[in-house]
Amino acid sequence: MKWHRLSRRELLAALGFLAPSLAGFSVFYLVPFGQSVLNSFQDRLGGGFTLSNYKELLLSSSFQKAASNTFWFTAISVPILVVVSLLLALLLNQRVFFRNWLRTAYVLPLVVPVASIVLVWQILFDWNGALNAVMEHFGFSRQDWMKSEWAGFVIVLVYVWKNIGYNVILFLAGLQNIPDHYYEIAGLEGAGPVRKLFGITLTYLTPTTFLVVLMSVLNSFKVFRETYLVAGAYPHDRIYMMQHYMNNMFLSLDIQKVSSAAVLMGLCIMALVFVLFRTERVFRSYME
């Protein structure tokens, strides 16, 4: 009886501490998303339940273009970000003479405001920007980077540069948690650097890697700010993302369509997170 009373008291105390956060999450996220779900099934004329909003959405060429661009952006940028972050973390985990400079460099994107970051990239990739000036100096023709197929590569580069610091921090934390005597024992048994990398480093970095992949996927859906500031509300077709589509539908007050798009996007993110967690569980059971 005393144990049950103590558990109930701890549960009430935990709920008391969580109440402000739960209230804020409900007011600003849960309730609006629930309202969006209801709006997505409502007729524009105020009628009852209907699936016509989703049918029109899936048949819309603008939505198809935005969904395709978002999918390919995530599929391309996330692996690049994870691999580059891992390589940089492995480098920073060694004793190199410019390690302190690199640590400062990868932390800078985390503290610099997005507007300032976008201003730098505008200076680089504008028609009269620094990159075109360098190309013209060496005899190459100028490129309108943000109004051509190169726009997708520019956005991937901005995304990687903006998010690489956070991933490097996570990888460094995972690397520093691997005991040194594992490498010493492997060295005594004749294991080379490649065998140590795949047999020890990457194996024990598996939980950290899944966390980095998860955060990178979620951050890939938040690239709208950078794209909007660089290329505006109607950018080149190559970088017209889901966030552009929903923002334009919201500006035109098409609440049903933007709610349907938000629900589908939320379901896709939940499916990706579920697949990642299931994959991590399989890997963890295999390691055990």
- Mean pLDDT score of the chain: 81
pLDDT at 46: 64
20-66 pLDDT tens trace: 888 888 888 888 888 888 888 887 766 677 788 888 888 888 888 98
| Residue range 246-276, pLDDT digits in tens | 888 888 777 888 888 888 888 888 898 888 8
The predicted pLDDT at position 84 comes to 92
Task: Look at the block and give the residue holding tokens 């008391």.
Answer: 16
Q: Which CATH number fits domain 63-287: 3.30.420.40, 3.50.50.60, 1.10.3720.10, 1.10.150.650?
A: 1.10.3720.10
Q: What pTM did the predictor assign?
A: 0.81
Binning pLDDT at 50, 70 and 90, where does residue 80 land?
Answer: very high
Q: Report the DSSP beta bridge partners of residue 42.
A: 49
Measured distance between the N- and C-terminal CA atoms of the chain, rounded to whole angstroms = 37
Calpha distance 147→233 (Å, rounded): 13
Let me know how long the chain is. Answer: 288
The residue type found at 147 is: K
SS3 content of the chain, % helix, strand, coil (to 5): 80, 0, 20
Q: Are 205 and 171 in contact (CB under 8 A)?
A: yes
Res. 100 pLDDT band, cuts 50 70 90? low
| Predicted pLDDT of residue 81 | 92
Task: Copy the structure tokens of residue 55.
Answer: 């049918």
pLDDT of 221 reads: 85
Question: For the segment 176-212, what is each residue's pLDDT rounded down to a tens digit?
Answer: 888 877 777 877 777 777 787 787 788 888 888 888 9
Question: How large is the average pLDDT for residues 216-244?
Answer: 81
pLDDT of 283 over the 80 cut: no
pLDDT in the model for residue 108: 73
241 secondary structure, DSSP code: -
DSSP 3-state assignment of 42?
A: strand
pLDDT tens for 119-168 read 777 778 877 778 888 888 788 888 877 777 788 888 888 888 888 888 88
Q: Minimum mean pLDDT among 1-15, 19-33, 46-60, 79-93: which range?
A: 1-15
Q: Output the six-digit token pair for 196.
A: 């140590």
With a cut of 60, say whether residue 3 has pLDDT above it: no
pLDDT of residue 285: 73
pLDDT, position 255? 83
Look at residue 91 in the predicted model and tell me its pLDDT: 82
Has residue 2 got a pLDDT over 60?
no
Residue ranges per structural domain of the chain:
63-287
